[in-house]
Amino acid sequence: MQLYKTCKLGRVEPYRYLANVITRIVEGHPNSRLDEPLPWAYAAAPELKAGA
């Protein structure tokens, strides 16, 4: 529930966000860049915006 609320606050579509994060993990996203896949970091990503 918290993930959903956080995504909605940042106007990020929750399903797309979660799918993107899981894909990044599977593809080996480096631990040194852990701040990138957080919901508020997606605010500028138009493909993850609600209604996009």
Q: What angle do CA 15, 22, 29 make, to 5 degrees?
A: 135
Q: Does pLDDT of 19 surpass 50?
A: yes
Q: What angle do CA 36, 40, 45 make, to 5 degrees?
A: 75
Whole-angstrom distance between the N-terminal and C-terminal Cα of the chain? 22
Number of domains in the chain: 1
- 21 or 37, which is more confident? 21
Q: Does pLDDT of 9 surpass 80?
A: yes
- 11 or 42, which is more confident? 11
What mean pLDDT do residues 11-28 have? 89
What mean pLDDT do residues 2-27 have? 88
Could you list the residue range(s) of the whole structural domain that residue 31 is in? 2-48
- 8 or 52, which is more confident? 8
